[in-house]
Amino acid sequence: MSQSATVQAFLAGSGVDDAVFELRPDYRVLLIAATGLIPGPSDTGSDALLTAAESAAGKLLHGQAPEELPNIGAWRDAYRAFGSKPQRTRNSLEALLRRVNDGLPRINRLTDIYNAVSVKHLLPLGGEDLARYVGPARLIRSAGTEPFDTVSGGEVVIEHPDVGEVVWCDDAGVTCRRWNWRQCRRTQLTDETTSAIFILDALDPMSTDELQAAADELTTHLRSLGPDVVLAQRLIAR
């Protein structure tokens, strides 16, 4: 199967459970699958993207707390709707915004790129190693039995989400807890990742056009990571 057919099949098999849309009918997700990426550590290019995102976020916040932004407020409401406390387990965008003053983390080229797009466009955005997925990606409300591999106290442990928690998963277990809070170890991006799946989450007041604008910027940066990059995307909405 060609790389293009592989990513198209992955996207076609991915989905969002009706129970999630019942919780937030305004939810939309744009999935981007990429292969042929040339991986590597953080570099001057990814550093420049993060520096620009830090500057844009600093001007936007201008002394405000991140939760005062409408986009953050929407995600806090979504977390409360499935029983999570957003002041204790913050969505990925809010967590990044709270680090802007001290500097966003420099992790690796792929992670730096999607973190910069996340902060610039004010939406939670996750990236994971596509080759480490077992089956397609699905957003569900957890039964509470799905395994989630993480690190606690320096040791690898298997946890389980709360019953009813919104989680991304594949056939092997949970890949991201609490919608867009914490990713598992198994599918995390590394300096060796050559194929990836990116998950761009949106709630009102973010429009679908704004969501697509973030996706367009991300794909532009991904295409710069090698001559053989193949990209495909799918928008899922109610």
Tens place of pLDDT per residue across the chain (238 aa): 566 777 889 999 999 999 999 999 999 999 999 999 998 999 999 999 999 999 999 999 988 899 999 999 999 999 999 999 998 999 999 999 999 999 999 999 999 999 999 999 999 999 999 999 999 999 999 999 999 999 888 888 999 999 999 999 999 999 999 999 999 999 999 989 999 999 999 999 999 999 999 999 999 999 999 999 999 999 999 9
Global pTM value: 0.96
pLDDT for residue 5: 78
Q: Which residues, in sequence order, are CB contacts of 180 under 8 Å at separation 6+?
A: 75, 91, 92, 93, 124, 126, 199, 201
pLDDT for residue 152: 86
Kindly report the CATH number assigned to the domain that includes residue 199: 3.50.40.10
Number of domains in the chain: 1
pLDDT for residue 2: 66
Q: What are the start-end ranges of the E strands in the chain?
A: 15-16, 28-35, 125-129, 138-141, 148-152, 155-159, 166-170, 173-177, 182-183, 196-202, 230-237
Cis peptide before 205 (omega within 30 of 0): yes
The C-alpha angle 189, 183, 215, rounded to 5 degrees, equals 65
Determine the structural domain holding residue 226 and report its residue range. 3-237
pLDDT for residue 1: 52
